[in-house]
Chain A
Amino acid sequence: AQSVTQLDSHVSVSEGTPVLLRCNYSSSYSPSLFWYVQHPNKGLQLLLKYTSAATLVKGINGFEAEFKKSETSFHLTKPSAHMSDAAEYFCVVNDPTKTSYDKVIFGPGTSLSVIP
């Protein structure tokens, strides 16, 4: 069975410092992995996705993530946090098997706070 773990429920960084949001997954198949961001009372925005191509994936707004199969991780990073990055971040794994209709599983989320 697939699962997604986000080790930190809350991360707080100072503006201009690096951001690291951790994600680990378990999957019986070759998964697709995604990071989404959700600002308060808003929908989800796709930051980036890994679909078995390059293991280092660059996304929008300066975010990137590295797929490490040996560590079953897909951590999200950004070199320098901006105030507008404060939001909820979800790591998501996709099971591309036919019978699952391409369902995705959401991690519990990490709330990122950015201190001025």
Chain B
Amino acid sequence: GAVVSQHPSRVICKSGTSVKIECRSLDFQATTMFWYRQFPKKSLMLMATSNEGSKATYEQGVEKDKFLINHASLTLSTLTVTSAHPEDSSFYICSAKKGLAGEGQFFGPGTRLTVL
């Protein structure tokens, strides 16, 4: 199997606070994980590529100081939304790469973030 989990599934926070989202590969090791953001009725937008033991690679336009990514182990990557604002409210989805190139990614169930 190739199961990816995310925690929490849903979070509501106040503006100005920080929120951490965890992404775990449950039954395989993932040297590379990806973080996506999805706006309502829109497609997924890649935010960053997270590599175990090294700094994340951010896509153009994504603030690295705003969205902190840590890939501390082969089964865990975290995304921290710092000083969250209402415009950060979104559906955040992680994925993990398994195996050889071209096999694609396995996606987590997503985290719904609402910033009040």
Contact = CB atoms under 8 A, between A and B. Distances in A.
Interface of A: 32, 34, 36, 41-44, 46, 49, 51-52, 90, 92, 94, 96-98, 101-104, 106-109, 111
Query: Closest 10 interchain pairs by CB?
Result: A43-B109, A96-B101, A96-B102, A44-B107, A32-B102, A43-B110, A106-B43, A106-B44, A108-B43, A109-B43
Contacts, number: 61
Given A51-B102, A96-B102, A101 B43 contact: no
Main secondary structure on B side of the interface with A: strand
Given A43-B6, A96-B102, 9 more contacts: A36-B107, A43-B109, A44-B93, A46-B107, A51-B102, A94-B102, A94-B104, A101-B49, A102-B97
Q: How large is the interface on B (under 10, 10 to 19, 20 to 34, 35 or more residues)?
A: 20 to 34
Contacts of A90: 43-44
